[in-house]
Amino acid sequence: MAECGEISMMLGAFEDSELEPNEMQEVAFHLARCESCTSILADYSTLGRDLRSIAAEPALAGFSSAVIARVDRLPQPVLTRIERFIRRQLDSVSVGSGIAWGGAVAAAAVVTIILMTPYAQQFANRATPPTVIAKADANAAPAANQVATANEPTMADNDSHADISRLESENHSVAVWSEPRRDTTVIWLPDQP
């Protein structure tokens, strides 16, 4: 059996469960037979409980604000000062003017997007007259034949707004019409005999 002097050195750690397993067993074995060490252990336990009972938490009302106020009074690094200046400027913008700024930016973005899209370009092209891509020239007829074929007049048949015009040419077999809705100009050349 271990001596009380040796065991008493380990009683605190035994109370805290900080001993190795074999030491825990050794102390427990001793305590089962030693009233003196058991009494010391009980006092340690009471002491710990009493220390916890007198360590009342201080009143912390306003603690956070007091700490923040003290931090604010500390000399700030340059970068922090710049950051705070920018933040103050942003905070100074009122809500109403902020909404106005936001609306203006959003409107500018929408206009830019529209102008950059094919839809906008198509809209712009509709405003201009249909492009004549071939002239009713007898000599030019074979070349124009490469642009459109006789199979295509159905487009004009379906379009009531087709603008059919004959060209100033003695060759009446050549026709050119435009279809504004499709943004297309069609040259019709019947099959040559």
Partner 1 sequence: MAVVHNQDDAIELAQETFIRAYENLSKFESRSSFSTWLYRIAANLAIDFWRREGRHVVLHGEDADNEISRLPTTSGDSFKEVSRSELSARLKQALEELTPEHRAVILLREVEGMSYDEISDVLQCPRGTVMSRLHYARTHLRTILKDVAGS
Nearer to partner 1, 1 or 54 (CB): 54
Residue (8 or 145) nearer to partner 1, CB: 8
Cβ at position 53, least distance to partner 1 in Å: 8
Which chain residues interact with partner 1 by CB under 8 A?
9, 12-13, 16, 18, 39-40, 42-44, 46-48, 50-60, 63, 66-67, 70-71, 74
Cα separation values, 102 from 78, 88, 106, 109, 113, Å? 31, 19, 6, 11, 17
**CB of 29: closest distance to partner 1 in angstroms?**
20
User: Closest separation between CB of residue 50 and partner 1, Å?
Assistant: 6
Q: Is 186 helix (H, G, I), strand (E, B) or coil?
A: strand
Cβ(137)–Cβ(169) below 8 Å = yes
- Is 172 in contact with 189 (CB distance < 8 Å)? no
Stated as kind and residue range, the H or E segment containing 164 is strand 163-166
DSSP codes of every residue in 63-87: HHHHHHHHHHHSPPPHHHHHHHHHH
Question: With respect to partner 1, which residue has the nearer C-beta, 49 or 161?
Answer: 49
At its nearest, how many Å lie between partner 1 and the CB of residue 36? Answer: 12
Question: Least distance from C-beta 70 to partner 1, angstroms?
Answer: 6
Distance CA 44, CA 24 (A): 16
Q: List, in sequence order, the alpha helices (H) in the chain.
A: 4-15, 21-31, 35-54, 63-73, 78-92, 95-116, 118-126, 141-144, 154-158
When the beta carbons of 58 and 129 are compared against partner 1, the nearer one is 58
Residue 1 vs 59, nearer CB to partner 1: 59
